Amino acid sequence: MTAAPQPTGTELLARLDRLPVGRPHRRLMLQGGLGYLFESYDAVLLGYAASAVVAIWSVGSGLAGWLLASVFIGYLIGALAAGVLADRIGRRRVLMYALLVYVGFTLVAATASSPGELILWRVLSGIGIGAEATMIVPYISEFLPARNRGRNIGNTMLFLGFGYILAGLTAVTVISPNPEPGWRIACIICVAPVLLLLWWRRDLLESPRFLISQGRIAEAAAIVERFERETAVGGELPPVPAPAAPTGEPAPRRNVLRQFAALWGPGLAVRTGVVCVVWFAIQATHYGYGTWLPTLLVLKGFTITKSFSFALASAVAQVPGYYLAAAISERIDRKWTIVVFMGGSIACAAGLAVAGDEVAIFCFVVALSFFMNGVAGPLYAYTSEIYPTETRATGMGLASATARVGAIMAPVAIGYLHDDLGFAGVFAVLCGLLLIGALVLALLGLRTAGRSLEAMHAGPAAARTRDDQPA
């Protein structure tokens, strides 16, 4: 009796894509969502901690800026490194190593005795959390079926909003009453839940798409079969459709320079340029607006207490923004969902620039947070979809790193712009930046909703077809 022939990579991916979203998919999305929760929780809570340190150690404004920006520098390095490594050694190993790096250096940060020391540890811990955040969406997107991939990724990113809210509550109860031990305790609090996530991920599966791209068909087959068994509990599986496109030969191993150069090669250069522009525009606006909002409101005449209450309300508004964007991204496509939400952000920023009374300012602040954060889910999904498996993580890493450049530059630039242009001028500049990003995506972006990952990357010829044209 002869053994059954080994399935091809194309057959395995057709079997994986036909599965309904079941228990194994939900487990991965929950793990990814918790990763995003800890990312936003860390960034905001330790931002509060840094503010406490500035007061306790009497840190000057110049050094304080570096202290607040240190984690974003780490994010940038982590995003670039994670993308390259994940396309070479696998998604699973990068996700696990990133958490270990974050845990170790965040614990060390709690022992810092000087601003310079704290900046160093925050850069290094930022590398870990930046790598983790960059890899989550490319990883889970390679398991999710095409028909509802965008909605499920968007729902995963709801956890970002919960992290912002929890960080604000923790800052009030832990750091505010006793700033000196409080900021150190905050570092430990950030690590504790991540240790639980690290334990939970001990049996994390490697992406079948990555394994197939490396020619490790037997390992990929075992994972697909496991997903089929767990998904089929209580019912039968849908039939396997005809594969959309062959997976081809295993991807050649490239050095780091060639890996990044591939993103700017035939069929991918326009895609890469589009996502870099859009990510920079959105994240520069988001972090510039987010970090300066309380200060801008105070400069406009609001009390500190009232400006903080506005900021908290804007954090709560993020959650429905994530949800609505996820819900419509399969109906009007990821590309157009992003454009619509960027358009809403532009309208709200313009309204905020000219609003005169307190009620109008409050409404525009909340609405702007709704639209700006709603963009995140479809944007992450879109970026993970437009690259083939062998460059997906590297592309995501480059886009995320570009976003971190915007996050570092924007708060500094707004400080200078406010002196010259005032409150209204700052928001006019933000509107212009968002408008550039929206136009670039609308004119040059790729349609992705409902299409298998392989269908968009059937080869260089396919990459240059009409599917890359505006739709």
In terms of average pLDDT, the best of 9-18, 179-188, 244-253, 429-438 is: 429-438
Token readout for 326 is 């996820």
Split at pLDDT 50, 70, 90, the class of 84 is confident
Does residue 449 have a pLDDT over 80? Answer: no
User: Which pLDDT belongs to residue 124?
Assistant: 93
Split at pLDDT 50, 70, 90, the class of 129 is confident
Split at pLDDT 50, 70, 90, the class of 343 is very high
In terms of average pLDDT, the best of 123-132, 146-155, 167-176 is: 123-132
Split at pLDDT 50, 70, 90, the class of 453 is low
Of 9, 99, 103, 117, give the one whose Cα is nearest residue 59: 117
As a whole number, mean pLDDT of residues 27-56 equals 80
User: Which pLDDT belongs to residue 300?
Assistant: 64
Rounded to whole angstroms, the Cα distance separating 394 from 384 reads: 10
User: Which pLDDT belongs to residue 464?
Assistant: 40
Split at pLDDT 50, 70, 90, the class of 428 is confident
User: Which pLDDT belongs to residue 387?
Assistant: 86
For 155-180, the pLDDT digits (tens) are 888 788 788 788 877 877 887 788 88
Token readout for 39 is 């990312």
- Taking CA atoms, 231 is separated from 18, 20, 63, in Å, by 11, 7, 53
Does residue 469 have a pLDDT over 50? Answer: no
- Taking CA atoms, 10 is separated from 87, 213, 244, in Å, by 19, 11, 8
User: Exposure pattern of 22-42 as b/e (b: 16+ CB <10 Å)?
Assistant: bebbeebbebbbbbbbbbbbb
User: Which pLDDT belongs to residue 95?
Assistant: 87
User: Which pLDDT belongs to residue 280?
Assistant: 93
Split at pLDDT 50, 70, 90, the class of 396 is confident
User: Which pLDDT belongs to residue 463?
Assistant: 41
User: Which pLDDT belongs to residue 467?
Assistant: 41
Question: Which H, E and C letters describe the chain, residue by residue?
Answer: CCCCCCCCHHHHHHHHHCCCCCHHHHHHHHHHHHHHHHHHHHHHHHHHHHHHHHHHCCCCHHHHHHHHHHHHHHHHHHHHHHHHHHHHHCHHHHHHHHHHHHHHHHHHHCCCCCHHHHHHHHHHHHHHHHHHHHHHHHHHHCCCCHHHHHHHHHHHCHHHHHHHHHHHHHHHHHHCCCHHHHHHHHHHHHHHHHHHHHHHHHHCCCCHHHHHHCCCHHHHHHHHHHHHHHHCCCCCCCCCCCCCCCCCCCCCCCCHHHHHHHCCCCCCHHHHHHHHHHHHHHHHHHHHHHHHHHHHHHHCCCCHHHHHHHHHHHHHHHHHHHHHHHHHCCCCCHHHHHHHHHHHHHHHHHHHHHCCCHHHHHHHHHHHHHHHHHCHHHHHHHHHHCCCHHHHHHHHHHHHHHHHHHHHHHHHHHHHHHHHHHHHHHHHHHHHHHHHHHHHHHHHCCCCCCCCCHHHCCCHHHHCCHHHCCC
For 223-240, the pLDDT digits (tens) are 999 888 888 766 677 777
Does residue 138 have a pLDDT over 60? Answer: yes
Does residue 436 have a pLDDT over 90? Answer: yes
For 238-251, the pLDDT digits (tens) are 777 665 555 555 55
- For the chain, domain boundaries: 16-230, 255-471
Does residue 278 have a pLDDT over 90? Answer: yes
**Distance linking the first and last C-alpha atoms of the chain:** 53
CB 40 within 8 A of CB 160: yes
Residue 303 phi/psi, 5-degree rounding, is: -70, 160
User: Which pLDDT belongs to residue 297?
Assistant: 64
User: Which pLDDT belongs to residue 172?
Assistant: 77
Does residue 471 have a pLDDT over 50? Answer: no
Q: Per CATH, is 255-471 categorized as 1.20.1250.20?
A: yes
User: Which pLDDT belongs to residue 420?
Assistant: 77
Hey, do 16-230 and 255-471 end up sharing a CATH topology, with the first three levels equal? yes
User: Which pLDDT belongs to residue 250?
Assistant: 56
User: Which pLDDT belongs to residue 339?
Assistant: 94
Least confident interval from 276-280, 353-357, 430-434: 353-357
User: Which pLDDT belongs to residue 113?
Assistant: 87
User: Which pLDDT belongs to residue 470?
Assistant: 43
For 381-390, the pLDDT digits (tens) are 888 888 887 8
Does residue 316 have a pLDDT over 50? Answer: yes
Does residue 460 have a pLDDT over 50? Answer: no
Does residue 433 have a pLDDT over 80? Answer: yes
Does residue 410 have a pLDDT over 80? Answer: no
User: Which pLDDT belongs to residue 468?
Assistant: 45
Least confident interval from 103-107, 172-176, 251-255, 332-336: 251-255
Does residue 294 have a pLDDT over 80? Answer: no
Topology given in CATH for the domain delimited by 16-230: Growth Hormone; Chain: A; (1.20.1250)
Percentage of residues of the chain with pLDDT beyond 70? 83
Does residue 57 have a pLDDT over 50? Answer: yes
Does residue 204 have a pLDDT over 70? Answer: yes
